[in-house]
Amino acid sequence: MKTLLILAHPEPDKSIANRRIADGVVAKSKNTEVRDIFALYPDYNIDIEAEQRALLEADTVIFQYPFWWYNMPAILKHWFDNVFDFNFAYGPEGDKLKGKNFLLSFTIGGPADAYSPIGYNHFRIEDFIKPMEQTAYLAQMNFMTPVYEHGMVYIPGVYNTQEAVEERADNHTERLLNVINRLENEDPETKIKGFVKEWFENLDKLTDDGYFNNYIANGAKLSFAEGEFEGHEGFSEWYAGIKKTIKPDNEHRIESINVIAENGHFNVDMSVKLKAETYQGDTLQLNVKENWKVEITRDGRIKIHEYIVNTIN
């Protein structure tokens, strides 16, 4: 499995964190290629064919950049505008990136508590990166949980120390390497268990339904306490009702999980405890049994064909 890391920092020689992260990843991951797009294209004249060729050769694409003004540096936006072209990344024939992993990896200068409804930036980090999440979905790529770190800027005599930023960059690097190693080495059972954990983490945050529908098969059978549903539209209908009932930041705790291969699919049996707060101020605590039937497609994507939930208390 090959990993492509797109480094997008307009001042890489002055970068403490992003350059250190990119160098650290390529030093420890033999199958990772780094493309420093500002070094390649200081005039912003992107070689579209070369960039698309690099994407086609990769299984996982990491976008490494500093989080500037709640967004990415201009060169990376320019790169997307040119490289994720019609009939390459989207459109009637635009399935060239289908099934590849899409991972955002970025550094944030400000503290974590600034990115909340009561912080001075008002919104969560996940809110600011919605356009990138939708980009992955449109390109039929697997949007993975982003890797990011706060406090990643050093202003001499004003904010942080260089040593502190370097230490955080090293921690960030290890987290990226853990993701890469997992993708390269995991067996189907480990892959499914990791996916289930990520699924419930997104349910806890009440992530937009686009994340979940990316993994639900057309015509999937869905059974919840609220009723029977089918496919993408059915999931969105059920999920809209859930989001009106409970607040974000709830907790799904997986008590047990068992994965069994059967006739080209995998049966996933789970015991899960849910704790949530409703908008009426009530505390909701449930024990449920879940049974999923999932498929790992030829291009490595997980698709849910059956999702059955039974409350046991």
Domains of the chain by residue range: 3-185, 188-311
Which DSSP category does 146 fall into? P
Q: What is the average pLDDT across 291-311?
A: 90
Per-residue confidence (pLDDT) for residue 299, from 0 to 100: 63
Amino acid at site 265: H
Q: Which CATH number fits domain 3-185: 3.30.2090.10, 3.40.50.2300, 1.10.3760.10, 3.40.50.360?
A: 3.40.50.360
pLDDT confidence of 58, banded at 50, 70, 90? very high
**Angle CA(168)–CA(173)–CA(174) in degrees, nearest 5?**
100
Look up the pTM and report it: 0.66
Contact criterion met (CB below 8 Å) for 15 and 153: no
| CATH architecture of residue range(s) 188-311 | Roll (3.10)
Per-residue confidence (pLDDT) for residue 297, from 0 to 100: 82
Is 186's pLDDT higher than 80? Answer: no
Contact criterion met (CB below 8 Å) for 145 and 198: yes
3-185 shares its CATH topology with 188-311: no
**What confidence tens digit (pLDDT) does each residue in 66-90 have?**
999 999 999 999 999 999 999 999 9
